[in-house]
Amino acid sequence: GAGVSQSPSNKVTEKGKDVELRCDPISGHTALYWYRQSLGQGLEFLIYFQGNSAPDKSGLPSDRFSAERTGGSVSTLTIQRTQQEDSAVYLCASSFADSYEQYFGPGTRLTVT
């Protein structure tokens, strides 16, 4: 079946611009995670959504980062006033509510020039 999809696959933006990254989770998965992976680094947790519960935003690095999940499905990660240090691969993952197993999308590579 269809896996987690993310768009765009690559995004180049100028410093100071806003960007939106999209994630389409696997149908039926109620949990959704966003991670940031900087070059050669591990997976940095950003935000978690579960059904209609309040999201866990504890990993967002600054107030320039925000995310929403509409209708319990598609999620958008927004970065305002991008900085060069925001350059990274942004990964989305989804899972069933009671499962630890996360299914990852291919990621969006963001480059801020």
Partner 1 sequence: GENVEQHPSTLSVQEGDSAVIKCTYSDSASNYFPWYKQELGKGPQLIIDIRSNVGEKKDQRIAVTLNKTAKHFSLHITETQPEDSAVYFCAASDSGGYQKVTFGTGTKLQVIP
Residues that bind partner 1 (CB under 8 A): 4, 31, 35, 40-43, 45, 48, 50, 56, 91, 93, 95, 97-102, 104-107
Closest CA to 83 of 65, 66, 67: 65
Please count the helices (runs of H) and the strands (runs of E) in the chain. Answer: 0, 10
Residue among 86 and 105 whose Cβ is closer to partner 1? 105
Phi first, then psi: what are they for 84, rounded to 5°?
Answer: -60, -30
Phi first, then psi: what are they for 42, rounded to 5°?
Answer: -80, -165
- The distance of closest approach from Cβ of residue 106 to partner 1 in the complex, given in angstroms and rounded to an integer, is 5
- The distance of closest approach from Cβ of residue 113 to partner 1 in the complex, given in angstroms and rounded to an integer, is 21
Residue among 14 and 98 whose Cβ is closer to partner 1? 98
- The distance of closest approach from Cβ of residue 94 to partner 1 in the complex, given in angstroms and rounded to an integer, is 11
